[in-house]
Amino acid sequence: MGGFDGHPGTGKLATVLSQRMKRENDSPLVLDFGEIQANYSLITNTFPVPIPKGDYSVCRHVGSLSFTISEGGHAGHEGQTQTYHTGGHTHTVKPPSIKPRDRVLVAWVQNEAVVVDIIEKS
C-alpha cells in the first residue's frame, strides 16, 4: 500500500475517491441515496465522505423555498340576474425542508451532488 501504511482510513478514502472518479468519466449522471447529517452535511452511498452544506445543491421543493399557487375566479347566479364573482386568490406554499437524518435522493450531475427529494419508506 506504500505511503498509506499505518493509515488504513486514508487508503480506503483514496480507493473510494479513485473509484468515484473512474465512474464519473463513465456516467455524467448517477442517482444515489444519501443522508443529511446533524451539521447538514451530505453523505451519499457512493461518496461516503461528508459534503459540507453549501457544497451541494438542493431542489426547490426541499430547499426551504416557498412558491405561490394562484387559483382562478368563478361566476355565480342570483335569481334572474347573473352576478359574477372574481373570487381569485393565492396561496403561499412552503414545503418541508431537509433536516438532519433525512434520507434523500441525490442526482450526481458531473461532480456536483443535487438533493432532489426526501425519501420515505412506503
Is there a contact between 104 and 31 (Cβ–Cβ < 8 Å)? no
Higher pLDDT pick, 113 / 81: 113
What's the pLDDT tens digit per position in 71-92? 665 555 455 555 555 566 777 7
Ranges of each domain in the chain: 29-119
* Contact indicator for 114, 89 with CB cutoff of 8 Å: no
The mean pLDDT of 100-108, rounded to a whole number, is: 95
pLDDT at 31: 93
How far is the C-alpha of 56 from the C-alpha of 40, rounded, in Å? 10
Asked if 100 and 40 count as a contact pair (C-beta separation under 8 A), the reply is yes
pLDDT of residue 59: 87
